[in-house]
C-alpha cells in the first residue's frame, strides 16, 4: 500500500520488517483472539495479525485508507473495517458474547494517545490487554515509579487501572516519514480486580489531578480545598511531601479519605 502521509492524523508508518516481527511476537496473537487494531496505516501489523487471529476489527479515520485496506483484505473472513474516529467509537459494540474480551493494538498518533487510552479504559473490564506504539517520552511517564522525574498524573491514573510494561524502544528511522522523537512499545493489562480500589473513581481522579497541579508544591498546598493538612496526616501521609513521592496506594488512601469527608458533610 502506498499512501500520502497526513500530518493532521499524526501518520508515521512502520517500514522495518524486523521491528514489525518483534511487535507481533510481543503481542503473541492466538487463533482464538478477537483483536482490535486502531490506525492500521499501511497495514504493517494488519497483515500478520489477520493470518493468526479469529477476528480483527480495524478502526480507521482516514478516508483515503478505506478503499486500499478493503481491496487488500476484504476477502478475508477475519477482516472487519470500521471507518470512524477511535476517540469516540463505542468499543462495546464489537463484543459478540457476554464474557468476551478483546485485545487492542495500535501505532497511535502522538497527539491523541493519552485521551484515546483513557477512552479505552472506560471499557477496561472487556479488554484483555493493549499493545501500543507511542512516543517514548509518554511510555516513560506511563511506566515511571514514585520518586522519579517522569512520575506524574499519567503514571498514577494508568497504574491504578492496569499493569503497565515498557517493552522496547523503536528509533525514528523505522518509520516513514521519520518522526523527530523516539517511540516505544508499551503493554497495558487492565486489572480484573483493582489492587487498591477507590471508593469513588471521580474523587480519585479529582484528587490526583489536584495533587500534581503544581509539581513543586507540597500536598498541603495542592490539596487545599479538598483535604486539610490534619486530614492528610490522619491517614498516615506527610502533608509536607510532594505528589511525585507517593505510590498509587497512597493516592487511593487520600481519595477515600476525601470521599469519607464529603459523605460526612452531606449528613
Q: How is the chain split into domains, by residue range?
A: 7-190, 201-266
Quick one: pLDDT at residue 14?
A: 81
- 260 Cβ contact partners less than 8 Å away, ≥ 6 residues apart: 199
Q: What percent of the chain has pLDDT over 90?
A: 82
Place of cell 509518554: 138
Q: How far apart are CA 184 and CA 136, in angstroms?
A: 5
| Higher pLDDT among residues 233 and 266, named by residue | 233
Q: Inform me whether the pLDDT recorded for 181 exceeds 70.
A: yes
Q: Inform me whether the pLDDT recorded for 4 exceeds 50.
A: no
Quick one: pLDDT at residue 179?
A: 80
Highest mean pLDDT among 7-21, 103-117, 194-208: 194-208
Quick one: pLDDT at residue 159?
A: 98
pLDDT-derived band at 216, boundaries 50, 70, 90 = confident
Average pLDDT over residues 62-72: 93
- 230 Cβ contact partners less than 8 Å away, ≥ 6 residues apart: none
Average pLDDT over residues 166-183: 89
Contact (CB, 8 A) for 206 and 153: no
Query: What beta strand segments (E) does 7-126 contain?
Result: 13-14, 34-38, 55-60, 79-83, 102-107
CA angle (82, 87, 92) in 5-degree steps: 60
Quick one: pLDDT at residue 79?
A: 97
Q: Inform me whether the pLDDT recorded for 34 exceeds 90.
A: yes
Q: How far apart are CA 206 and CA 214, in angstroms?
A: 14
Q: Inform me whether the pLDDT recorded for 3 exceeds 80.
A: no
The class that CATH gives domain 201-266 is mainly alpha
Q: Inform me whether the pLDDT recorded for 157 exceeds 90.
A: yes
Q: Inform me whether the pLDDT recorded for 1 exceeds 60.
A: no
Q: Inform me whether the pLDDT recorded for 17 exceeds 50.
A: yes
Task: Tell me which fold the domain 7-190 belongs to.
Answer: Rossmann fold (3.40.50)
User: Mean of the per-residue pLDDT values for the chain?
Assistant: 92
Q: Inform me whether the pLDDT recorded for 220 exceeds 70.
A: yes
- 90 Cβ contact partners less than 8 Å away, ≥ 6 residues apart: none
Main-chain dihedrals φ then ψ at residue 149, nearest 5 degrees? -65, -30
Under DSSP, is residue 134 helix (H, G, I), strand (E, B) or coil? strand
Quick one: pLDDT at residue 180?
A: 85
pLDDT-derived band at 244, boundaries 50, 70, 90 = very high
Contact (CB, 8 A) for 62 and 86: no
Q: How far apart are CA 159 and CA 249, in angstroms?
A: 10
Amino acid at each position: 500500500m502506498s499512501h500520502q502521509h497526513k500530518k493532521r492524523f499524526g501518520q508515521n508508518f512502520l517500514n522495518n520488517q524486523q521491528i514489525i516481527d518483534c511487535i507481533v511476537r510481543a503481542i503473541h496473537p492466538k487463533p482464538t483472539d478477537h483483536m482490535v487494531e486502531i490506525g492500521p496505516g499501511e497495514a504493517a501489523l494488519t497483515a500478520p495479525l489477520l493470518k493468526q487471529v479469529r477476528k480483527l476489527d480495524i478502526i480507521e479515520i482516514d478516508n483515503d485508507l478505506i478503499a486500499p485496506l478493503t481491496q487488500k483484505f476484504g476477502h478475508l473472513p477475519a477482516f472487519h473495517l470500521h471507518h470512524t474516529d477511535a476517540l469516540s467509537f463505542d468499543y462495546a459494540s464489537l463484543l459478540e458474547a457476554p464474557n468476551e474480551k478483546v485485545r487492542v493494538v495500535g501505532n497511535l498518533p502522538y497527539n491523541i494517545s493519552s485521551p484515546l487510552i483513557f477512552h479505552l479504559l472506560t471499557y477496561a473490564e472487556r479488554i484483555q490487554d493493549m499493545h501500543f506504539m507511542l512516543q517514548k517520552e509518554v511510555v516513560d511517564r506511563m511506566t515511571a515509579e514514585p520518586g522519579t522525574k517522569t512520575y506524574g498524573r499519567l503514571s498514577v491514573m494508568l497504574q491504578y487501572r492496569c499493569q503497565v510494561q515498557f517493552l522496547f524502544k523503536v528509533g525514528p528511522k523505522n518509520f516513514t516519514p521519520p518522526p523527530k522523537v523516539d517511540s516505544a512499545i508499551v503493554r497495558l493489562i487492565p486489572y480484573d480486580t483493582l489492587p487498591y480500589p477507590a471508593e469513588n473513581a471521580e474523587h480519585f481522579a479529582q484528587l490526583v489531578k489536584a495533587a500534581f497541579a503544581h509539581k513543586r508544591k507540597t500536598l498541603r498546598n495542592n490539596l487545599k480545598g479538598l483535604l486539610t493538612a490534619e486530614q492528610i496526616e490522619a491517614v498516615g501521609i506527610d502533608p509536607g511531601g510532594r505528589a511525585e513521592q507517593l505510590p498509587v496506594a497512597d493516592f487511593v488512601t487520600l481519595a477515600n479519605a476525601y470521599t469519607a469527608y464529603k459523605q460526612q458533610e452531606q449528613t
